[in-house]
A = this chain, B = another copy of it.
Amino acid sequence: MATDTNNWVSRIRSGDPRALARAITTVENRAPESLELLKALFPHTGHARVIGMTGAPGAGKSTLVDQLAKEYRKENKTIGIIAVDPTSPYTGGAILGDRIRMQSHYSDPGIYIRSMATRGSLGGLAGATTDVAAVLDASGRDLVLIETVGVGQDEVDIVRLAEITVVILVPGMGDDVQTIKAGIMEIADIFVINKSDREGAERVEREIRAMQSLSTRSDNWTPPIVKTVATDGHGVPELAKAIASYQDFLRTHNLSLRKKVQNWQERLVEMLRQSLLERVLREHMADGAVSRYAAEIAEHKRDPYSLVEELVAKLGRP
């Protein structure tokens, strides 16, 4: 078993795409062997630069991420893209778009794209995404780009776990539509105004500046605003430069490690929460106990708050 895992890890690290694909699926589904695999991969992580990119639906995230990946390919960097999109147009367009997209990179083994369209798994989408990023990191990718629509808390959690967070806005869609998660403006290390050839780009820029004048970051970094037109690649080299500047800033001020410690604090609590529940369900709840309790609560024979107190108090007693 351990030998199998070691062999698997070697194949992942040598760049075998099938071994990598199987590892990602295993981790995403929290399959039984995922824990051993993640433990074995962990010593090989920590080298990739993880960049989170988020914005409103329709902001052109996928196109921009693709263009940025191509830009990095010019420097011979290898890239892993994790596209997390739990929203989908009800016509099913997203999945189709995704397939077209994967084909366009098919011939370049230096870009590996993986979609995570589902909630991921028991441990939550943010946890699953971080673990998938760790697999890509361990496989030797220089950069991992995580792309997600910035609308739900899950998605904010995902980009917060990246080293660098890019928030993508677009002009001229109206206030109704420029709807992103409250709090997402605050986590941006870099702003992109995509589709910046449209009317209203200056207004978006003014609004970002106005917001920035109201708040200061604890690290004193002022997030730059980069204007792009992702469809023709305009502004993409400037975005790569802005990312490199922020990386230099993190290095110069010794902030990378601090950010990683903060992230691991949250991740650790989340992992603990999930593992504790699994142990209790396994050891202290007989088959069907949860549904029997739920029926008693629904029939008002029992209050759920006292029940949970009792169950937690019982924990660890023989």
Contact = CB atoms under 8 A, between A and B. Distances in A.
Interface in A169-185: 169, 175-182, 185
B257 A299 contact: yes
A216 to B, nearest CB: 18
B177 A58 contact: yes
A39 interface: yes
A299 B306 CA distance: 42
Interface in A87-112: 87-91, 93
B269 A277 contact: yes
A272 B311 contact: yes
A2 interface: no
A94 B200 CA distance: 21
Contacts of A149: 151, 179
A288 to B, nearest CB: 11
A149 B155 CA distance: 15
A11 B304 CA distance: 23
A46 interface: yes
Q: How many copies does the complex hold?
A: 2
Contacts of A32: none
A91 B179 CA distance: 9
Interface stretch (A71-79, A226-234, A258-266): A258-266
A317 interface: yes
A268 B279 CA distance: 15
A167 B7 CA distance: 49
Given A42-B305, A87-B179, A153 B273 contact: no
A71 to B, nearest CB: 25
A75 to B, nearest CB: 26
A274 B308 CA distance: 10
Interface of A: 35, 38-39, 42-43, 45-46, 57-58, 86-91, 93, 117-119, 125, 149, 151-155, 169, 175-182, 185, 207, 211, 257, 260-265, 267-269, 271-277, 279-281, 290-291, 293-295, 297-300, 303-309, 311-312, 315-317
10 contacts: A39-B305, A42-B300, A43-B303, A58-B176, A58-B177, A153-B154, A268-B294, A269-B277, A273-B277, A275-B309
Given A152-B154, A177-B177, 12 more contacts: A35-B309, A57-B177, A89-B176, A89-B179, A90-B211, A118-B182, A125-B153, A152-B153, A153-B153, A261-B291, A273-B276, A276-B276
